[in-house]
Amino acid sequence: MAAGANTISMGTGRKEFNPKKERPGLEYYIREAGQAVLRQINDPEAIDEVVIGNFIAARFNKQAHLGGFAATIHPSLEFKPSHSVEGACGSGGLALIAGIRSILAETAQIVLAVGVEVQNTVKAIYGADILAGAGWFQKRKNGHAYFFPGQFSDRAGAYYEKYGYDYARKGMAQWFVNSIENARLDETAQEFHNSTADLTGLYNKMAPNGKNFVDHLNVLDCSKVSDGASGIIIASEEGLAKLGIAKKDAVEIMGYAQLTRNITEDPADLTELITIKKTAALAMQNAGITIDQVGTVETHDCFSIAGLLAVEALGLAEKGKGAAYVAEGKTARNGEMPINTTGGLIGWGHPTGATGVHQAVTLWQQLTGKAGNAQIQLKENRPYGLSINMGGDDVTVVSIVYKKA
């Protein structure tokens, strides 16, 4: 992978965002992300295929058939294979997997993967109903009005019951603080303009209140409603050469995995993300590495509790010890395992179909030294990056292992 690019993640938190004024639409974000990628290569005509990851534009934007927008990025992409893929919030990861498989199948040498979502088109309560489609909609009538915050509120409540409320909230508070502090280092992040001095104090003032929101989470525990897109090139070695990209400016995909659990069944244990656990383990197995060789992780923190549970699913901490691992600073950018170095979903934003591609862009930037103010230094004995993109409540998961080429 190479030549990654992000648009701004637009929504509440950005100074430019005004919900009362007309904003750019789906077409704009596809074009902006795609063209930002093309500006980094020498020959757009060399691209063999385009894959667009998107969750639910047919409802947020009343637009389907997104493959047809590839030619708006560049005229040379017309009359080339182009299609969209969907797996809820894991749609961006599925776009990457589709591109990787085309390269491995030798049906393409160069694939442009774009992830996109434009969600600030409806009020939050209506958006929650649309996003509920990432779960089994038959449960919608019995679910919380804010369906997915309700789902992960239940996970948080189960974690509190097992391990203690104050203990868990301390870890979740630190997850929020890390997210915002990292987002302040990336000018495309939704929370880039956040200037709150005491982030921990702000978080602790906002105790969960089921009368106003959901029982076990506050709004700071939640990812953003976002408009945005990300793009990246997936290529064979021959494809890189065609594009004039040096190997030092690319990352190699060392292994990947994509697993899906039964959407009609509730998780067996609310305090475990079993699909993430299985998928990340398989991706690392396929890459021939262990978590001890990973230097940085981009994980799907749609809610702070998902971050804590992912830490445990990866084996960074024992079950029930994820909150302590985070509270002790081990996931901070200067910690033992830097996670979500540009803010993740809570800090950078969560344009649902774009998130998996954004994770790949961040890891490409970090591993090739192109992350600017957000750059971290990886240890020589931990040269790998790992991404985890989750669709729904631990239903569809994509995990990919990266290393500087």
**Whether residue 101 has pLDDT greater than 80:** yes
pLDDT computed for residue 124 by the predictor: 86
Average pLDDT over residues 175-191: 98
Average pLDDT over residues 202-231: 97
pLDDT single digits (tens) 219-257: 999 999 999 999 999 999 999 999 999 999 999 999 999
* Location of structure tokens 């990266």: 402
Alpha carbon distances (Å) from 199 to 14, 206, 234, 242, 396: 17, 11, 38, 47, 32
Rounded to the nearest integer, the mean pLDDT of the chain is: 97
Main-chain phi, psi angles of 175, to 5 degrees: -60, -45
CATH class of 141-222+250-404: alpha beta
pLDDT computed for residue 138 by the predictor: 87
**Whether residue 111 has pLDDT greater than 90:** yes
**Whether residue 141 has pLDDT greater than 80:** no
> How are beta strands 110-118 and 2-6 bridged, if at all?
unpaired
pLDDT computed for residue 15 by the predictor: 97
Q: Measured at the alpha carbon of residue 9, what is the angle toward residues 354 and 305, in degrees to the nearest 5?
A: 70
Q: Is the pTM of this model over 0.85?
A: yes
CATH 3.40.47.10 residue ranges for the chain = 2-122+225-246, 141-222+250-404
pLDDT computed for residue 125 by the predictor: 87
The CA distance from 244 to 46, in Å, is 11
Q: Which amino acid is present at 119?
A: Q
Average pLDDT over residues 9-18: 97
CATH number of 2-122+225-246: 3.40.47.10
State both tokens at 389: 């993109």
At a CB cut-off of 8 Å and minimum separation 6, what does 241 contact?
Answer: none
The more confidently predicted of residues 143 and 233 is: 233
pLDDT single digits (tens) 348-387: 999 999 999 999 999 999 999 999 999 999 999 999 999 9
